[in-house]
Amino acid sequence: MSNELEAFFGLPQEVKFCKKCVMSNQRPMSEVEFKHSIDTKKRTMNFDENGVCDACNTAEIKENIDWDQREKELITLLDKYRKTDGSYDCLVPGSGGKDSAFQSHISFDPHMAPHSLYRLWLQKLQKLVKCRRIR
């Protein structure tokens, strides 16, 4: 009898862990559900030559960014497109999910005056609920 464990769902047979965190190669990357089956080989977390996962490497890069300088650069760029007549500076599309809601929220910071499709959708939904068209 073999001591090797059987791998399921297309995951690698050898289990590896990141040297800095608890991530393993048993966590598959996002997949389009209808394009894979139980026999499809899955892409999993990548590790560099030192055994550190991509998430830890990205976090380390972010720690070394001068965020104050990046914000100044962003404001300088946005100033080129800022309106002075009180109209909207840009259009922010959104689905209403958590990512687009955050995107809409953060763009209302003092940086821009966006016209948010997410906020318009939310206002219309609230009006429909108030009119009892949706329960």
Each residue's pLDDT tens digit, 96-116:
677 777 777 777 666 677 766
Q: Where are the chain's structural domains?
A: 1-64, 67-130
Would you say residue 121 has pLDDT above 80?
A: no
pLDDT for residue 45? 80
- Cα(22)–Cα(93) distance, integer angstroms: 36
pTM score, whole prediction: 0.55
Residue 135 has pLDDT above 60, yes or no: no
| Confidence (pLDDT) at 99 | 78
Q: Which amino acid makes up residue 116?
A: S
Contacts 24+ apart (CB under 8 A), 4-13: 8/38, 9/38, 9/42, 10/36, 10/38, 10/39, 10/40, 10/41, 10/42, 11/42, 11/44, 12/44
